[in-house]
Amino acid sequence: MKDSRHQRFPMFHDVESVIFCDESKYSIKDNNAEDAVYYFAIIVPKSLIKTVTKEFESLYAAEAIQAPIFHAKKIFKSRHPRLRFMGALTNLLIEFRLYALCFKYDRSKLYEAAKIAFEHFNDGNLIDFNNPEFQALTFFGSLLDAELRSRKRHMVQGKCILFFEANVYGRERTEEMGFGDDEMVVKRVVFLLREKVKLMALPDFVGYIFRLSKISHNDAQIGKAGLESNPMVIYAWTCLIRLKEEGLFHFLDIDDWLQ
């Protein structure tokens, strides 16, 4: 009998782990403290996909949220913070020991140097190191694979596949991009519509509680705001600390590989 998971998601057939990814952009033009893109990746063993999805759907249904697709910034608002749901999603990550990885693409530090160094790779089509978003995604994918092949090998089972939301990258349908290097842990990247896979909500959630915490911290650092008083922001920071204390939240530091 064929595995029903393979019938529903044939792209899973030759991997043992799935990594759901999302990004959060920061711009000085938008009164942020930096020009950067932060990537968030949640690692889920393929064997847990069905169980974690059912648990997430149950939590989502319990909140009676009308929106069919999870978008953290639309669900968690100061006037209706849904702290119980925020805590429940944090507990979900902890219960199933799902690692959350964060990578920062610092445009001010990387963009100009990479544009010059990798100019000869530009093909006028897919590869474009003049595009900061392409640079950011390339640095993230390369560093993630390097870390999973070395210092963070324990976080992933076998080969893995990366999922990104298609709309963010100008795609309107599911597309796959494979890698031919057998040494790589990441076999391919898939761009898909968020509604196709419910667990795309997880990196969105982690990225959102990180963003709330970071903006609050940055504002305090430059004297733009005093002691944080928003209950939603305070609780987001608490959830992030819990993930860190559980050993589940990790930064990918590109400086470790550039030195």
Question: What would the pLDDT profile of 10-64 be if each residue is shown by its tens digit?
Answer: 667 788 999 999 999 988 888 778 889 999 999 999 999 999 999 999 999 999 9
pLDDT greater at residue 216 or residue 23 = 23
Phi and psi, residue 156, nearest 5°: -130, 140
What is the model's pTM? 0.88
> Whole-angstrom Cα distance, residue 118 to residue 129?
6
Assigned fold of 15-249: Nucleotidyltransferase; domain 5 (3.30.420)
CA 156, 105, 229, 73 torsion-angle sign: negative
- Residue 227's pLDDT band (cuts 50, 70, 90): low
> Given the DSSP bridges, would you call strands 100-106 and 249-252 parallel, antiparallel or unpaired?
parallel
Residue 80 has pLDDT above 80, yes or no: yes
Token code pair at residue 204: 């969105």
CA distances from 83 to 72, 204, 209, 242, 247 (A): 12, 16, 11, 14, 22
Residue 3 has pLDDT above 80, yes or no: no
Residue 255 has pLDDT above 90, yes or no: no
Measured N-to-C along each axis, helices 83-95 and 231-245 cross at an angle, to the nearest 10 degrees, of: 10
Residue 220 has pLDDT above 80, yes or no: no
What pLDDT, on a 0 to 100 scale, did the predictor assign at position 218? 76
Residue 104 has pLDDT above 80, yes or no: yes
| SS3 call for 38 | strand
Nearest to 165 by CA among 203, 137, 139, 200: 200
> Whole-angstrom Cα distance, residue 161 to residue 190?
7
Is residue 18 within 8 A of residue 46, CB to CB? The reply is yes
Report which listed range, 107-111, 119-123, 180-184, 199-203, is most confident.
Answer: 199-203
pLDDT digits (tens, 9 = 90+) for 109-158: 888 888 998 988 888 777 888 888 888 888 898 899 999 998 888 999 88
pLDDT greater at residue 68 or residue 20 = 20
CB neighbour list of residue 242: distance below 8 Å, 6 or more residues apart = 90, 94
Average pLDDT for 60-88:
93
